[in-house]
Structure 1
Amino acid sequence: MWQALAQRIQARWYARSAYMALMPLACLYGALVWLRRKAYENGVFKTRRVARPVIVVGNITVGGSGKTPLVIALVTRLAARGVRAGVVSRGYGGRAATYPLAVDANTAPAQAGDEPVLIATRTGAPVVVAPDRVAAAQALCAAHPDIDVIVADDGLQHYRLARQAEIAVRDAARGYGNGWLLPAGPLREPLARLARVDLEAAHGAGGDYQLTVRAARRLVDDARCALDDFACQTVHAVAGIGDPARFFAALTAHGLDVKAHPMPDHHRYTPADLVFGDDRPVLMTEKDAIKCRDMTDSRLWAVPADAVLSDDFAARLDGLIAPFFEPTHKENR
């Protein structure tokens, strides 16, 4: 019942309308957000600096907007320029016995969350998760003194962690919905917050970067094939991400006949979730596959997605990160 209600409310957000009854709560929430921000600006709440500069990749809306693929692209772009990045994250969807938790490709998503494990797997960068991003960043610097910069996956609103640059991501299609703060709309912070970020990035068709899918990898044996090899076949597609329809559309664009099975974001899969009464292939996002990698089902395939940056956005991003790969920056860190 609660999930259905949440879905109806979110549908209103992105239909550019809102429930009038929620607007007083949105005003109250907005006042609390303003007070919290002022408390940090005036030193009532303390901001903590860590031993390395921090680049935050986040958003001002709830739900998925494509942050994690951009984090992966940013870490890879820095590495190509000789800058070693480490990543910190809250580890949403995971629960560890103790924090901070160091994450690598073999860490259980149930402990670290699916996105940190995906980042560690795709980039090879050191990753640390903790609800307290300052503690995560301090642990990262202590364990990996050779890193040059920290990339924070999400955390735009985690003001306690000082940062040198902020990138705000939005979904190009859904934008900022009806423009209202929670719970009347999807905004964590007012739109005016965007005036203080260093770079805004729109994800999706016509935006600053898009996700492309070209291949598939079978989970049980790591066999690989071109996504086009599934063309004209009927496949099951599952996606527990912020916008499952985007994944289904990408598969359809490659000529696949898709039977779509959207799941809640960060869904924890069981084998029963992937039984559909036939032996057709089951294609899923990498984020979903991270949580299914121990399943011995030859029907399961992961579909990696890569962020492709527009020339204009790539130039603006390079301008933002340029100070972090200057020799003087490394010498004086």
Structure 2
Amino acid sequence: MKLWQSTSFITWLLAPFSLLFWLVSQIRLFLFRKKILKSYRSPIPVLVVGNISVGGNGKTPVVVWLVEQLQQRGVKVGVVSRGYGAKTKQFPQLVTKQSSAEMVGDEPMLIVQRTGVPLAISPNRQQSIELLLSQFELDLIITDDGLQHYALQRDIEWVVVDGERRFGNGFVLPAGGLRELPSRLKQVQVVICNGGTPQVDEHLMQLEPKVAVNLHSGESVPISDFIGKHCIAMAGIGHPPRFFTMLEKLGIHLVRTQGFADHQDFNAQQLLALTDGQQPLLMTEKDAVKCQAFAQENWWYVPVSAKFSEKSTACLLEPIFKFLGKEYERKTSQ
């Protein structure tokens, strides 16, 4: 929200509620740390990939990248997710490539389609972990989001920060977009900066698009095929302008852009109204998992992959392998 990027009269009007939010969260955290509120310890290590601000930071590409890197090196990894936006009432639930994005949530569906990783959803992450461990032999659990889910004990914490927006006006909800104050970053093992300029000790991540995939046929073409073309773009993610800016920087001419709410459901009529049928419609991979059933021939999604330097890759992965008691194997392609 633009309101959260600067300070205004409304910010100060909401500031007392932000103070209340902060006080409640600190009391809750204190109760967990003193073991007055119970928390669950997984029998295998848990790594949290989360953020201190509301949505749109690039957390899901980090999870996909980490899962792929660990799989390539022989680590048996599973993922748990809250399944935000899922319409199912059956928890916990395994997510497979045959699942419905509408029922299990768009982000879990995307992660499974990209990696094939064992993944379970539930608001109660203990239930998800127990379900995974009952069916798979795993070395490590990655929790997609859940930095503030202190009912689950964790061994490693990664935080993803939007390198362009950073922490907005610096207020916690509702006057600002923060769930916790930036001082929380001093307590985590890794801070990843998505674009922009990383601060000291942050790891720069770039989101790299290489292809566009046709929703109707599955055909994959180089994204460069769209350079100079007039296209329409839509995005139902935490920060839609990032997707539009990425396409424009590639040289794609966007005659219309349409942002939607994060995790929003779509229908055919809604998206057909965006285009005259001639111009290609470009969308994110996260949106595509919800539009497959009614996709048109000129609808394309643009998957992005997280990219880190070789030095950052080693700095990110080596501590995990050391914690697991395994030998870290460098790969030439990151």
- Report if TM-score (shorter chain) is over 0.5: yes
SS, match of residue 99 in structure 1: coil
Provide, for residues 167-223 of structure 1, a one-character-per-residue CA deviation record: whole Å limited to 9, x for no partner: 011100000111111111111112222221111111113341010111111111111
Provide, for residues 113-145 of structure 1, a one-character-per-residue CA deviation record: whole Å limited to 9, x for no partner: 10000000101100000001111111111121x
Provide, for residues 63-107 of structure 1, a one-character-per-residue CA deviation record: whole Å limited to 9, x for no partner: 211000000001111112110110000000112131001001221
1:257 is aligned with what amino acid?
Answer: H
Answer yes or no: is the 8 Å Cα contact 2:227–2:252 preserved in 1: yes
SS, match of residue 111 in structure 1: helix
Instruction: Work out the CA distance in 2 between the residues paired with 1:20 and 1:171.
Output: 24
| 2:79 alignment counterpart | 87
**1:256 matches 2:252:** yes
| 1:176 alignment counterpart | 167
| 1:320 alignment counterpart | 319
User: Aligned pair in 2 of structure 1 residues 266, 51: CA closer, same or farther (>3 Å)?
Assistant: same
| 2:263 alignment counterpart | 266
* Shift in Å, 1:252: 1.3
Instruction: Work out the CA distance in 2 between the residues paired with 1:293 and 1:56.
Output: 30
Provide, for residues 260-302 of structure 1, a one-character-per-residue CA deviation record: whole Å limited to 9, x for no partner: 1111111111111212234211111100000011114102111
1:187 is aligned with what amino acid?
Answer: L
Instruction: Work out the CA distance in 2 between the residues paired with 1:185 and 1:312.
Output: 34
SS, match of residue 225 in structure 2: helix
SS, match of residue 30 in structure 2: helix
Provide, for residues 297-326 of structure 1, a one-character-per-residue CA deviation record: whole Å limited to 9, x for no partner: 102111110000134432320233122553
**1:105 matches 2:115:** no
Matches within 5 A, 1:1-333: 10-17=1-8, 19-144=11-136, 146-207=137-198, 208-258=204-254, 259-275=256-272, 276-327=275-326
Answer yes or no: is the 8 Å Cα contact 1:56–1:151 preserved in 2: yes
Answer yes or no: is the 8 Å Cα contact 2:39–2:152 preserved in 1: yes
| 2:201 alignment counterpart | none
Q: Which has the larger displacement, 57-66 or 307-316? A: 307-316
Q: Which has the larger displacement, 295-304 or 158-167? A: 295-304
Answer yes or no: is the 8 Å Cα contact 2:277–2:298 preserved in 1: no
User: Aligned pair in 2 of structure 1 residues 311, 327: CA closer, same or farther (>3 Å)?
Assistant: closer
Answer yes or no: is the 8 Å Cα contact 1:212–1:308 preserved in 2: yes
Normalised to the residue count of structure 2, the TM-score between the two structures is 0.92
Instruction: Work out the CA distance in 1 between the residues paired with 2:325 and 2:36.
Output: 35
User: Aligned pair in 2 of structure 1 residues 19, 37: CA closer, same or farther (>3 Å)?
Assistant: same
Instruction: Work out the CA distance in 2 between the residues paired with 1:169 and 1:176.
Output: 11
Instruction: Work out the CA distance in 1 between the residues paired with 2:326 and 2:287.
Output: 39
Answer yes or no: is the 8 Å Cα contact 1:149–1:324 preserved in 2: no
Answer yes or no: is the 8 Å Cα contact 1:90–1:133 preserved in 2: yes
Answer yes or no: is the 8 Å Cα contact 1:81–1:325 preserved in 2: no
Cα RMSD for the two superposed structures: 1.6
Instruction: Work out the CA distance in 2 between the residues paired with 1:75 and 1:224.
Output: 23
Instruction: Work out the CA distance in 2 between the residues paired with 1:182 and 1:314.
Output: 33
- Give runs of ≥4 in structure 1 deviating > 4 Å: none
| 1:6 alignment counterpart | none
User: Aligned pair in 2 of structure 1 residues 215, 150: CA closer, same or farther (>3 Å)?
Assistant: same
2:208 is aligned with what amino acid?
Answer: T
Aligned length: 319
Answer yes or no: is the 8 Å Cα contact 1:83–1:324 preserved in 2: no
Answer yes or no: is the 8 Å Cα contact 1:52–1:141 preserved in 2: no
Q: Which has the larger displacement, 244-253 or 86-95? A: 244-253
Answer yes or no: is the 8 Å Cα contact 1:51–1:138 preserved in 2: no
Instruction: Work out the CA distance in 2 between the residues paired with 1:42 and 1:241.
Output: 37
Q: Which has the larger displacement, 113-122 or 317-326? A: 317-326
Instruction: Work out the CA distance in 2 between the residues paired with 1:91 and 1:101.
Output: 10
Percent identity (aligned):
38
Q: Which has the larger displacement, 132-141 or 304-313? A: 304-313
Instruction: Work out the CA distance in 1 between the residues paired with 2:277 and 2:71.
Output: 44
2:319 is aligned with what amino acid?
Answer: L
User: Aligned pair in 2 of structure 1 residues 214, 16: CA closer, same or farther (>3 Å)?
Assistant: farther
